[in-house]
Amino acid sequence: MKENTNNSSLTVQVEHLQKSFRHGKKKVLTDICLTAQGGKCIGILGANGCGKSTLLSIIAGTQRAEQGSFLINETEYSITRKRKNIPPIGYVPQECPLIPELNAMDNLKLWYCNSPLSWEAELQNGVLAMLGIPDFLKTPVEKMSGGMKKRLSIGCAVAKNPRLLLLDEPGAALDLVCKERIEVYFRHFKQNGNIILLATHEEREIAFCDELFLLKEGILRPLEYDGNIHQLAGKL
């Protein structure tokens, strides 16, 4: 597995991001500001429909904001128009991004095309091995379990060796074995000085995060969590 360099200096910044729908009539994200440092997992919590998925998709570049800026190590990547430069980001949305008719191996070949990483090497001793993907290489996506699809989606999302990994509820409806596999890789990703930004409702993922933020009424605020899930639900 190829490791990133200059990990200690990694900084991600989102400044004054705004997003609305229905021609500006429905404001979803009012003024989002966030700074994250390398080696951290940042959790975004909030009620259903509060804008968590929208925020991640804007940072990933699949949706556009009306205003705001997004920087990685002081290099700005547009969130309001088509990007001219490609940020070092991996993105795993809630919906499956894989081609259902193809098996795991063929999906990997597509995603790892022109990648700095070799999918064959990663299957032997890298991210794909950590995620247990060699166990179902010949299985078509349409016949995979939810856990298999999620692990393969993560494996494909990191094909370009990203510094920032965006995850939209990665552990939803997965069994404990699958969650453990994914968490092992997340720990490795952080240890390399990278950043994870995830939207979650899962208690285990909340505990895994180094910092938590609550997205409510379009504003992102720091959130203290002492393990009391009932109190947390009240805040949501």
What angle, rounded to 10 degrees, do the helices at 176-191 and 146-157 form?
10
- CATH fold for the domain made of 10-88+163-175+192-236: Rossmann fold (3.40.50)
Contacts of 55 (CB under 8 A, 6+ apart): 17, 19, 29, 32, 44, 199, 215, 220
CB 217 within 8 A of CB 28: no
Domain ranges of the chain: 10-88+163-175+192-236, 96-162
Cross-strand partners of 92: 167
Q: Using alpha carbons only, what angle is made at residue 84 by residues 218 and 69, rounded to the nearest 5 degrees? A: 25
Token pair recorded at residue 188: 């490795």
Query: d(Cα 10, Cα 104) in Å, to the nearest integer?
Result: 32
Token pair recorded at residue 16: 């004054």
- The single-letter DSSP state of residue 30 is E
Cross-strand partners of 17: 32
For the whole prediction, is pTM greater than 0.85?
A: yes
Q: What is the pLDDT of residue 233?
A: 67
Chain segment 114-135, per-residue pLDDT in tens: 899 999 999 999 999 999 999 9
CB 42 within 8 A of CB 208: no
Q: What is the pLDDT of residue 91?
A: 97
Cross-strand partners of 36: 12
**Which residues of the chain fall below pLDDT 50?**
5-7
